[in-house]
Amino acid sequence: MPAYPAPQFSRGAGWRRQRPHVLAAGLVLATGLALFGPNRPAEATTPPAPEQALVVDSQRTVLIGDSISKMGRNELAVLAPHWTLDTISGSRVPTLQPRLAQYVKDNGRPERVVIALGTNARFATKQLYLDAVATLPRSTEVVFVTSYRNRAHVSGHFVFRMKQISGWMRSMAEDSPRTCFVPWREAMLRSGGRLLYDGTHPGPTGQRLWADEIVATVETCR
């Protein structure tokens, strides 16, 4: 015979024995536990899992960049060996959409796109970036790498254009979900451009920093 629990008491103004119908309910509950087992789990609705960020070294990640990316690609390949690194020296923003289309044709839809075009500012417009990103599913993670040229090496026009393009990237990241920007420009401003051997292209230390900044941004992009 199963052992039933002793009658329970409730706290009120002193201790009082439970009423008979409460005791009966307790006996029914105890009988159910004895028949079906005390550890039988109750049905529960599993809450939806939180949205997961892509792993950094996703095979479905493509970086599209220019000579800065080409110089830093070896450092980046150490941190993200499975990325596709499409780096062409001297390439400009109008090449972004056709290069992205070529990647899709060869590999299928990417899960993440890192856009490192803007240092060669001729013909660059914000709409060109927007048009390229619009070809991607909304679930695609987009990461922009801001641009920098040191004023000691280039004209004021180039300095203005780097600031303008980086501003577009920041605003697109702020306005769109799953879109972020790598603060390369900000890092170079803090260093005074000392990591750039010609005011634009990074030396060995700068190349490592460039790769580190990209990976650090990707790790926190949601």
Would 47 be classed as within a structural domain?
Answer: no
**Residue 30 tokens, joined:** 């105890």
Total-model pTM: 0.76
List pLDDT tens digits, range 9-65: 333 333 333 334 433 444 333 444 444 444 434 444 444 444 555 689 888 999 999
Q: How far is the C-alpha of 64 from the C-alpha of 49, rounded, in Å?
A: 32
Q: How far is the C-alpha of 76 from the C-alpha of 114, rounded, in Å?
A: 12
List pLDDT tens digits, range 159-216: 999 999 999 999 999 999 999 999 999 999 999 989 999 999 999 999 999 999 999 9
| Cβ–Cβ < 8 Å for 68, 200 | yes
Would 6 be classed as within a structural domain?
Answer: no
Enclosing domain of residue 90: 61-220
Residue 207 carries which DSSP code?
A: H
**Domain CATH for 129:** 3.40.50.1110
| Cβ–Cβ < 8 Å for 130, 172 | yes
For tokens 């990325």, the residue is 83
Q: How far is the C-alpha of 168 from the C-alpha of 160, rounded, in Å?
A: 12
- Give the chain's domain count: 1
Would 43 be classed as within a structural domain?
Answer: no
Would 69 be classed as within a structural domain?
Answer: yes
Which residues face 116 on adjacent strands? Answer: 65
